[in-house]
Amino acid sequence: EPYFSIFTSHFFRPPPPLLIIHCSLLIDNMVGIVIVSHSASLAAGVKDLATQMTQGNVPIAVAGGIDDPENPIGTDPMRVLDAINEVYSEAGVVIFMDLGSALMSAEVALEFLEPEQVKNVYLCDAPLVEGVMAGAVQASVGATAVQIIKEATEAMLAKQQQLEPYTTTAVDKQAATKTEAEADTPPATGEAHTHLTIRNPQGLHARPAANLVRLANQFSADVTVRKGTRFANAKSINQVATLGVVQGDEIAVTSIGDDSAEAIQAIEALAAENFGEEIKERASSAGDGRRNKKREAGVGTAVGGILQGIAAAPGVAVGRVFQYRPQLPVVETYDLEEAEIVPEVNRLRDAIQQAVAELTAVEQRTSQQIGSQEAAIFGAHKLILQDPDLQKVAVRCIQDDRLNSEAAWLVAANQLAEEYDALSDEYMRGRAADVRDVAQRVLRFLMNVQPSSLELDSPAILCALDLSPSDTTRLDPDKVLAICTEMGGATSHSAILARALGIPAVVGLGPLLSRVPDGSHIGLDGETGQLWLELTEESEATLQAKREAWLTEQQAAKAAGQRMALTADGVRLEVSANIARPQDIESALAYGAEGVGLFRTEFLFMDRVTPPDEDEQYEAYRQAAEALDDRPLIIRTLDIGGDKPLAYLDLGEEENPFLGYRAIRFCLDKPEIFKPQLRAILRASAHGRVLLMFPMISTLDELRAAKAMLLEAKSELKKEGVKFDNQLPVGIMVEVPSAVAIADQLAREVDFFSIGTNDLTQYTMAADRGNSNVAGLVNALQPAVLRLIRQTATAAQEAGIWTGMCGELAGNPLAAPLLVGLGLRELSMAAPAIPAVKEALSHITIAEAQALADEVLGLGSATAVRERLAR
Ligand code: PEP
Ligand code: MG
């Protein structure tokens, strides 16, 4: 009910500037006070008290309640208007309100005043009782309206200061009592508590906080986290993150509700796993906080043509400057009419939804191209966006302040970013950048603007004010020699992504960076955090030599991935890469890919207005086949739909897109799309070792229909005299539980299986892979999923075909021995994971892997599996 809504930030808003400007017009009469409250008796009581304190010297009027005997609680603008008129003089009137609609009624009342009067009427955001008392006393001594407002708004400070020791003690006492009580007696039904000490080096920062929030959201009980005297709702990412929990802090978690005990148990288990974060000793290379701290003294200053910043990602670069200075959308603010409020709220909600969908795609792309750890930031961005508190603030700005969506969203996002900015922990302060990144994404949708281009014609050093994680994932590592930014810290997500992409980076270089001319020749060392604004022959030679050494080191690391994938007892396995474009092959091979286990062809269909025709696809597949020489290239036919919609393909709106018209279901229905793709793949098969794979097969009929279409394509090409590999192996992705159930039947009709754990997990666990609230279930280490993997591999072995895996799980080095033990012979993953997976495989024999698989399949939870694998 909007009239009773409480929007606390109103209390902290300064009075409208228009009114302050005219304070000089005040004359010497006494300022009148108006008290607006939902309750007539409350208003009268406050008036009584103030009258007593000022001995009746101050004109005070009340506007309490509404004219409805049945339901007298509320506020009425006309009563406010009458009250203003009752005490009005040119000295001015100060209005004090309780909450919610009282504010709106007062604002409406102003609209009925003469313009001359409006200038002298002030809304005061002080708390009602304290404000009126302080204000009235000031008024009684002849203070101006502005002096009254100042005194009134500071009234709470004195009270807070006086009571602070009690508040702190009370909270501590409560905690202590609860701890003692917990020790002797079991907690009352429906309430449970725990105390946890945080071991994570960055405290409860975005990723662990996100894991906690996701988990808390799985329970109906209310879950509260307390650090000292501050509380946070454990279901709100922003509240948890801005609590500022750092390493070594103790937090108290309280859960109230039917499943409170389960909630606390689950949270304790998550805390035991460091909130899902792998805690390793941080390397002492770039990004080491201690080393950077020492250097921070000189950050942003130029000495002898060298600008000192913070080392963020190792590596050295010399090259021309590319100044990336995107123009952020300028947000216009305007007032809404009553009828525009609802559509405007809907417009904001739509934009948020679009931003969430885009983030899902970015998360997927990052996880495919860089790694799932690095992609997790975009999961956290989604949580920020979906945070009910953030949305509530924005919606209330629209409803109560009548601001347009863009302005309201900006107010809410800035308020939140400022909360992060105010935290004492450096890492947590850095999260403000994430909030701003997320805010920009929503603004783009609201204002219908495209992100600025980051395309470079030739290799260059990218200079920017700051670089958001979204910007960083759009960078082409072949073109961007290095990154340098004015703002940012070594722990920003852009820095983490730059390290993962192997791009040297220096951040926090300060405003001097903006003056470096576009195209000028500079040098940068990502290990020392230095930037050479001018290069002498000598300094350039030194930097070039260091760059050579760094590149050699990089090569050596990649060379480690070049060895064959062998188990400790010499069994040959195949470790391949997942790609989205033929251009990805070069880097995949550099990481040691022995082939491509999944070419996600849908990426060829994205970011365009019509589908690529047969020839265009043929070119892409041929290019990939040739780039791989004789290594295998598994091309998956179009997997569109689900979370990968395409505007130009008529997929329609679906209630449940993941259970809908997707992949093979769509292709079999659209021969005009499917056939050219099959023909293009067949034609490319003449140029390398191509294998073809159908996604989302859930029945034998689908497989047979797809193969029939392939046969048709073959006979067409034969008739046309076009060359192709008639023996082209045909496989399917096993990613729907029904395919596992009939794996024995399917295995008789294909040449190989490749398990897609991303979808297999979501369909087995009935948990949307893009929904952060059920992220705990979308874990391929769930015993149910592992059993289906074994069932698939066993059916394949019995039919004499091989099984591989191209889902995310394949790139997890911890899981690699288990997967081999379950019977897989090929693992395909995001290329950067290859060296670590090969390394993990080299330490285990097949017999050990099988024993591990037998043991793990008997475990009862994904957590237990993970713990066993980590041993
Ligand atoms: C999978 O589902 O595991 C898979 C590899 O396919 P995608 O992620 O493209 O749906
Ligand atoms: Mg899939």
Atom of ligand 1 nearest to the CA of 808: 3
Contact (CB, 8 A) for 99 and 78: no
| Residue 329 confidence (pLDDT) | 67
| Residue 208 confidence (pLDDT) | 82
| Residue 26 confidence (pLDDT) | 36
Tell the residue nearest (CA) to atom 7 of ligand 1: 758
Q: Is the CB of 387 under 6 A from ligand 1?
A: no
Kindly report, residue by residue over 304-361, the tens digit of the pLDDT. Answer: 789 988 888 889 999 999 998 776 668 889 999 999 999 999 999 999 998 888 888 7
Cβ atoms within 10 Å, residue 676? 19
556: left (phi over 0), alpha (psi -120 to 50) or beta: alpha
Sequence-separated (6 or more) residues with CB below 8 Å from residue 747: 753, 795, 796, 798, 799, 801
State the Cα torsion 209-215-218-222 to the nearest 10°: -60
Environment class of 39 (CB within 10 Å of its CB; exposed 0-12, middle 13-18, buried 19+): middle
Instruction: For ligand 1, pick from 635, 733, 740 the residue to mutate: most ligand atoms within 8 Å of CB.
Output: 733
Q: Is the CB of 806 under 6 A from ligand 1?
A: yes
For residue 527, CA distances in Å to 222, 309, 495 come to 46, 10, 13
Atom of ligand 1 nearest to the CA of 756: 3
Q: Is the CB of 758 under 6 A from ligand 1?
A: yes
Centroid of ligand 1 to alpha carbon of 759 (angstroms): 6
Q: Is the CB of 600 under 6 A from ligand 1?
A: yes
Instruction: For ligand 1, pick from 639, 662, 785, 829 the residue to mutate: most ligand atoms within 8 Å of CB.
Output: 639
Angle at 842 between CA 837 and CA 848, to 5 degrees: 105
The residue count of the chain comes to 871
Rounded to 5, what percent of the chain is helix, strand, coil? 50, 15, 35
Centroid of ligand 1 to alpha carbon of 758 (angstroms): 5
Question: How far, in Å, CA of 841 to CA of 846, rounded?
Answer: 9
Cβ atoms within 10 Å, residue 344? 22
Query: DSSP for 53-95?
Result: HTTT-S-EEEEES-S-TTS--S--HHHHHHHHHHH--TT-EEE
Centroid of ligand 2 to alpha carbon of 756 (angstroms): 5
Tell me which DSSP letter residue 528 carries: T
| Per annotation, catalytic residue among 10, 193, 381, 493 | 493
Nearest ligand by distance to the CA of 697:
2
Q: Any catalytic annotation for residue 806?
A: yes
Q: Judging by DSSP bridges, how do beta strands 752-755 and 521-525 pair with one another? A: unpaired
Tell me which DSSP letter residue 253 carries: E
Tell the residue nearest (CA) to atom 3 of ligand 1: 756
| Residue 493 confidence (pLDDT) | 63
Q: Is the CB of 759 under 6 A from ligand 1?
A: yes
Environment class of 739 (CB within 10 Å of its CB; exposed 0-12, middle 13-18, buried 19+): buried
Question: Tokens 């039919």 correspond to what residue?
Answer: 799
Q: Is the CB of 602 under 6 A from ligand 1?
A: no
Structure tokens at 318: 């010399």
Atom of ligand 1 nearest to the CA of 642: 10
| Residue 172 confidence (pLDDT) | 55
Question: Tokens 């395919």 correspond to what residue?
Answer: 739
Q: Any catalytic annotation for residue 205?
A: no
Ligand 2 is an ion; residues with CB less than 5 A from it: 735, 756, 759
Centroid of ligand 1 to alpha carbon of 364 (angstroms): 10
Task: Convert 189-242 into a string of H (helix), E (strand) and C (coil).
Answer: CCEEEEEEECCCCCCCCHHHHHHHHHHHCCCCCEEEEEECCEEEECCCHHHHHH
Kindly report, residue by residue over 667-691, the tens digit of the pLDDT. Answer: 999 999 999 999 999 999 999 999 9
State the Cα torsion 648-653-655-657 to the nearest 10°: -10
Centroid of ligand 1 to alpha carbon of 830 (angstroms): 12
| Residue 137 confidence (pLDDT) | 87
Centroid of ligand 2 to alpha carbon of 679 (angstroms): 23
Tell the residue nearest (CA) to atom 6 of ligand 1: 756
What residues of the chain score a pLDDT lower than 50? 1-28, 178-179, 181-188, 281-297
* Closest to 628 in 3D by CA, of 684, 565, 683: 684
Atom of ligand 1 nearest to the CA of 757: 3
Kindly report, residue by residue over 775-823, the tens digit of the pLDDT. Answer: 778 899 999 999 999 999 999 999 999 999 999 899 999 999 999 999 9
| Residue 312 confidence (pLDDT) | 84
